[in-house]
Amino acid sequence: MEAVLSAKDEKLYERLAFKIHRWVEQGTLKPGEKIPSVRAMSLQQRVSVSTVLQAYFLLENQGVIEARPQSGFYVRALLKDLPPEPSVSKVSQSTVKVGVSDLVSRVYEAVRRPDVVPLGAAAPSPDLLPTVSLHRKIALASRRFAKAGISYDPPPGNEALRHQIARRSIEWGGTLSPDKIVTTCGGMEALNLCLRAVARSGDTVAIESPTYYGVLQAMESLGIKVVEIPTHPKDGASLSDLKLILKKHKLKACLMIPNFNNPLGSCMPEENKKELVKMLSRERVPLIEDDIYGDLYFGALRPKPAKAFDRDGWVMLCSSFSKTLAPGYRVGWVAAGRFQAEIERLKFINTVATATLPQIAIADFLETGGYDRHLRKLRRAFASQVQRVTEAIHRYFPKGTRVTRPQGGFVLWVELPPSVSSLDLHHKALKEGISIVPGPIFSPSQKYLNFIRLNCGHPWSERMEAALKTLGGLAGGL
Amino acid sequence: MEAVLSAKDEKLYERLAFKIHRWVEQGTLKPGEKIPSVRAMSLQQRVSVSTVLQAYFLLENQGVIEARPQSGFYVRALLKDLPPEPSVSKVSQSTVKVGVSDLVSRVYEAVRRPDVVPLGAAAPSPDLLPTVSLHRKIALASRRFAKAGISYDPPPGNEALRHQIARRSIEWGGTLSPDKIVTTCGGMEALNLCLRAVARSGDTVAIESPTYYGVLQAMESLGIKVVEIPTHPKDGASLSDLKLILKKHKLKACLMIPNFNNPLGSCMPEENKKELVKMLSRERVPLIEDDIYGDLYFGALRPKPAKAFDRDGWVMLCSSFSKTLAPGYRVGWVAAGRFQAEIERLKFINTVATATLPQIAIADFLETGGYDRHLRKLRRAFASQVQRVTEAIHRYFPKGTRVTRPQGGFVLWVELPPSVSSLDLHHKALKEGISIVPGPIFSPSQKYLNFIRLNCGHPWSERMEAALKTLGGLAGGL
């Protein structure tokens, strides 16, 4: 039986786990070393025995420590020996006409194929989602709101859902108002609407490099030009570079994933977010912020979105429930600040409305379904899966391979030795029944030829390990 | 108990009703005149008594005839006294930068308000939709396809649904293949994807005038220029004018609603459709065909879409289930011919996927839910409602008012005396709790200042009649 914890205890054990993780990272606790006993730690940190147990359990899940029978907890040996992180992206700061290939459809095709090992598309395993519970909510909604459920729900979208989204913004110090939110057909529609609201064909938008290929394709289809900001795998976009870009280019917007960039996993420090919003607001350049991974942090606290520092409505915060609850429900949202009216208009133009019942079901789940409890489990699962895949890369991939250390989300960005073509690897892997995403599609200038992105959204298994072994072998042979 | 009819009988009685309707229109049967008894008609037309009864029942529903107790069936008095039809739209054939106002949001806002009489947005009443049955299908789908139902269903979308759509195309002589269909978040997404596939900012697309405002707004937001084709309220777009336009402009596409244009209700004759497709294919100009009202014909036979005459894949056929089954499910589709791959790519970019469970539910309903039976009832209801509203316009609207005679769909296009501003009327009506759509938003050049569109998607009622009386009084005072 799972121990019932109060919100206060919850925070305590997560903080303790975070602290211990830090000690390990800094080398305060060394690989193979025994960590203090539960009782000792409890006395030392002035927390209850159960808090310590919870923290150790979390760290074990994350692969940081391991229990040895009748002996205690030990720092896992591999942690310090992992492949180094990839270097900062080097990009020329000229605009590039976006030209992303059709690999994407092949990657997503694999989603439907149960015979393919799903290391490609960034989708959480349905086994980790509250499927039965959510589906029950949709059946319930169809009975309770029969006529409303079959009717159009025009922009801004379902009121109960907007209320729940606004309520949850309190967690990161936000004060979103339900009237300032528009629900959308997933996060991707939200991003499209934001782009259409502020940029036209021929305009320039700055993005992180690398960044999510869907966004690059959307910009390509809208004729929007792109300028890439060098982006650090830990701290995210370089603000000093952005400063130069702002001087050189007339930007219509800046589109970023400050929390757990896809594919980098980078998380921009709070002070940078503050500075970013200040810098852009001063220049009256809108920030389109994709926070779709924001709730999936591995640390003790939810990182704030840049929107938390938005005073003048220049930040358009986009998110969805596709990475945390139900990709197939297609429910996302945007809090568009000063662009609210335009976004409502564009939402109507693009798809008229978001499907009604899925919105009601998610609103109900947020209100009564234990979303926070679900998120806690999900974060632990993703942290552990990311760790397992990282270890497998260390074990099976060729020398010279580097891999990111994301502190949230569920993807890894892997730099292979320079000789390896990730496009070749993608083809070869698919033949072996393994789906991965090749690096070049994450950049309009087709950089990252020797990079791949790996999805860690599925529970660790022997099949996964075998696939990574095969993948490493293939990469070694290229 | 409803009589069970075979498909053959069904066609017979619909054909008979159509024939009688024609007689009335031509004056063969005059208003107030008694029509042949059931037995007489049965002998005369060599059909069964029950076929005649069904035909008379249908005509009664459509408001063409009425039963008088112990006497028989009579042609209704009002039919020939109705207001005349509006004249053909006169438009300059120069391109216009689209600039449609924000009235739209006010119109759609009224959809949610039960206190407002819904003569505005073109939405069917939920009372006419198979709400309970469809909702049951969604609950069933969530149990049967638990994991698949929560997962992404990437383009081209749900296979069972695509199969059902393809199967139904046989009815109009189509041979759509499931692989050549992409499901979308309603018909509006389908139209957006088609526009994005073939036109860029600065390009020119030809449209009917008047036409659906959502499409005009979409083109405006994409920076697409528009050239308007004069359109007849009965036969649709003028092909001779289109010929001239093709000579004068480099068109990137032609976007039309050949079957029951919204707002005109016009239905292009088959030979025109054939000629249209031939003309455009020769010039390699894609036809984006919106067939969303195609299943809602009042006559005996479903009018073919232009796609039926498409030999080289230049026609992109768009439709949805929003007017016939469930606006709130947001399920539409496009059969894009030679643009299939590009549409799949754009669908992914725009919204990644369509909500999974609503697609499964609709596929199931199409397969087992009695969709044809539902459509027959729905057509009768709409035909009757259109007739009732037409009569009320005759009764209550100022002299000089003209109104269309649509042979399908559920909207009326009303030309008020030239002095009446439909924008003023819209404001005044909304104050009285009545929603209507003013004419100028159906044209990028803001024509149709004295036109309004009326939604007849809701069952006739005293409240509706009172609203039309109020509306007529307001129009008379302007």
Contact A328 B357 (CB under 8 A): yes
Contact A328 B148 (CB under 8 A): yes
Give phi and psi for B15, each to the nearest 5: -65, -40
Computed on alpha carbons and rounded to an integer, the radius of gyration of chain B in Å comes to 22
Search chain B and give the residue with CA nearest A100: B345
Hey, which bits of B29-169 come out as E strands?
65-68, 72-75, 117-118
Nearest-CA distance A201 → chain B (Å): 6
Residues of A in contact with B222 (CB under 8 A): 196, 222
Residues of B in contact with A198 (CB under 8 A): none
Digitized pLDDT (tens) for each residue of chain A, 478 residues in all: 333 334 445 568 888 888 888 778 766 777 888 888 888 888 878 888 888 888 888 888 777 888 887 788 888 865 445 667 787 666 665 655 444 546 677 777 776 778 899 999 999 999 999 999 999 999 999 999 999 999 999 999 999 999 999 999 988 888 899 999 999 999 999 999 999 999 999 999 999 999 999 999 999 999 999 999 999 999 999 999 999 999 999 999 999 999 999 999 999 999 999 999 999 999 999 999 999 999 999 988 899 999 999 999 999 999 999 999 999 999 999 999 999 999 999 999 999 999 999 999 999 999 998 899 999 999 999 999 999 999 999 999 999 999 999 999 999 999 999 999 999 999 999 999 999 999 999 998 888 999 999 999 999 999 999 999 999 999 999 8
Contact B351 A188 (CB under 8 A): yes
At residue B191, what is the residue type? L
Of B109, B121, B189, the CB nearest to A350: B189
Contact B330 A352 (CB under 8 A): yes
Nearest-CA distance B473 → chain A (Å): 30
Of the candidates A225, A238, A340, A317, the residue with the CA atom closest to the CA atom of residue A279: A238
Contact A352 B154 (CB under 8 A): no
Interface test with A, best of B143, B185, B322 (most A CBs within 10 A): B185
Of the candidates A380, A213, A408, A425, the residue with the CA atom closest to the CA atom of residue A297: A408
Of B131, B222, B354, the CB nearest to A150: B131
Using CA atoms, how far residue A169 sits from A180, A196, B65, B83, B292, in Å, is 12, 25, 61, 56, 39
* Inter-chain CB pairs, A–B, below 8 Å: 226
Which whole number is the average pLDDT over B12-33?
A: 80
- Separation between Cα atoms, residue A473 and residue A359, nearest integer Å: 45
At residue B272, what is the residue type? N
Neighbours of A296 (CB within 10 A): 24
SS3 A422: helix
Confirm if B437 and B394 have CB atoms less than 8 A apart: no
Search chain B and give the residue with CA nearest A159: B112
Is the pLDDT score of B452 beyond 80? yes
- Separation between Cα atoms, residue A334 and residue A193, nearest integer Å: 9
Nearest-CA distance B428 → chain A (Å): 23
Contact B345 A147 (CB under 8 A): no
Contact A327 B152 (CB under 8 A): yes
Classify the phi-psi angles of B446: left when phi > 0, otherwise alpha if psi is within -120 to 50, otherwise beta: left
CATH of domain A7-80: 1.10.10.10
At residue A67, what is the residue type? A
Of B129, B223, B351, the CB nearest to A185: B351
As separate numbers, helices (DSSP H) first and strands (DSSP E) second, chain B gives 16, 16
- Separation between Cα atoms, residue B73 and residue B116, nearest integer Å: 36
Identify the CATH class of B103-127+373-476: alpha beta
pLDDT value, residue A218: 94
Element (H, E) at B204: strand B204-209
- The fold for domain B130-370 equals Aspartate Aminotransferase; domain 2 (3.40.640)
CATH of domain A131-368: 3.40.640.10
Contact A355 B185 (CB under 8 A): yes
Of the candidates B474, B460, B469, the residue with the CA atom closest to the CA atom of residue B416: B474
Search chain A and give the residue with CA nearest B216: A349
Is the pLDDT score of B5 beyond 50? no
Check whether the bond before A263 is cis (ω within 30° of 0): yes
Of the candidates A345, A358, A341, the residue with the CA atom closest to the CA atom of residue A138: A358
At residue B468, what is the residue type? L
Contact B328 A132 (CB under 8 A): no
Check whether the bond before A156 is cis (ω within 30° of 0): yes
pLDDT-derived band at B253, boundaries 50, 70, 90: very high
Search chain B and give the residue with CA nearest A201: B201
pLDDT-derived band at B81, boundaries 50, 70, 90: low
Interface test with B, best of A351, A354, A455 (most B CBs within 10 A): A351
Q: What pairs with residue A332 in β-bridges?
A: A184, A320
Of the candidates A194, A228, A2, the residue with the CA atom closest to the CA atom of residue A93: A228
CATH of domain B7-81: 1.10.10.10
Confirm if A194 and A307 have CB atoms less than 8 A apart: no
Search chain B and give the residue with CA nearest A103: B345
Of the candidates A323, A324, A138, A317, the residue with the CA atom closest to the CA atom of residue B329: A138
- Separation between Cα atoms, residue A168 and residue A297, nearest integer Å: 15
Is the pLDDT score of B8 beyond 80? no
Residues of B in contact with A183 (CB under 8 A): none
Nearest-CA distance A173 → chain B (Å): 29
Interface test with B, best of A136, A142, A195 (most B CBs within 10 A): A142
What does the block give as tokens for B127?
A: 């009372």
pLDDT value, residue B306: 98
Query: What residue ranges do the domains of chain A occupy?
Result: 7-80, 99-127+373-476, 131-368
Q: What pairs with residue B183 in β-bridges?
A: B333
Is the pLDDT score of B10 beyond 60? no
Q: What pairs with residue A254 in β-bridges?
A: A206, A287
pLDDT value, residue A76: 82
Nearest-CA distance B120 → chain A (Å): 13
What does the block give as tokens for A1?
A: 């039986």
Q: What pairs with residue A343 in β-bridges?
A: none
Search chain A and give the residue with CA nearest B154: A108
Residues of B in contact with A330 (CB under 8 A): 185, 351-356
What does the block give as tokens for B188?
A: 């509006």
Of the candidates B232, B152, B108, the residue with the CA atom closest to the CA atom of residue A185: B152
Contact A150 B111 (CB under 8 A): no
Residues of B in contact with A143 (CB under 8 A): 135
- Separation between Cα atoms, residue A118 and residue B146, nearest integer Å: 19
Of B135, B143, B218, the CB nearest to A349: B218
pLDDT value, residue A3: 37
- Separation between Cα atoms, residue A259 and residue A262, nearest integer Å: 9
Contact A152 B329 (CB under 8 A): no
At residue B58, what is the residue type? L
pLDDT value, residue B1: 32
B240 exposure class (CB count in 10 Å sphere: 0-12, 13-18, 19+): exposed
- Separation between Cα atoms, residue B343 and residue B333, nearest integer Å: 11
What does the block give as tokens for B12?
A: 């017979």
B312 exposure class (CB count in 10 Å sphere: 0-12, 13-18, 19+): exposed
Contact B126 A111 (CB under 8 A): no
Confirm if B122 and B211 have CB atoms less than 8 A apart: no
Q: Does domain A99-127+373-476 sit in CATH 2.60.40.2310?
A: no
Residues 6+ apart with CB under 8 A from B237: B208, B229, B230, B231, B256, B258, B268, B276
Q: Could you give the count of Cα atoms lying within 13 Å of B137 in the half-sphere of its Cβ? A: 24
Residues of B in contact with A346 (CB under 8 A): 221
What does the block give as tokens for B367?
A: 């397969």
Contact A155 B105 (CB under 8 A): yes
pTM: 0.84
Interface test with A, best of B102, B104, B352 (most A CBs within 10 A): B352
Which whole number is the average pLDDT over B324-341?
A: 97
Hey, which bits of B32-139 come out as E strands?
65-68, 72-75, 117-118
Search chain B and give the residue with CA nearest A110: B154
Contact A146 B129 (CB under 8 A): no
Using CA atoms, how far residue B234 sits from B266, B388, B392, in Å, is 4, 20, 21
Residues of B in contact with A121 (CB under 8 A): 152
> What share of chain B has pLDDT > 70, as a percent?
92
Beta B251-256 vs B287-290: how paired, if at all?
A: parallel
Contact A349 B186 (CB under 8 A): no
Residues of A in contact with B358 (CB under 8 A): 355, 357-358
| Residue B260 DSSP code | S
Neighbours of A306 (CB within 10 A): 25
Q: What pairs with residue A438 in β-bridges?
A: A452
The answer to whether ipTM exceeds 0.85 is no
Contact B150 A142 (CB under 8 A): no
Q: What is the mean pLDDT of chain B?
A: 90
Give phi and psi for A409, each to the nearest 5: 80, -160
Residues of A in contact with B214 (CB under 8 A): 348-349, 352
Residues of B in contact with A292 (CB under 8 A): none
Residues of A in contact with B123 (CB under 8 A): 151-152
pLDDT value, residue B4: 38
Search chain A and give the residue with CA nearest B110: A154
Nearest-CA distance B85 → chain A (Å): 30
Search chain B and give the residue with CA nearest A154: B108
Composition of chain B by helix, strand, coil, percent to 5: 50, 15, 35
Nearest-CA distance A308 → chain B (Å): 26
Of A129, A147, A189, the CB nearest to B150: A129
Search chain B and give the residue with CA nearest A134: B150
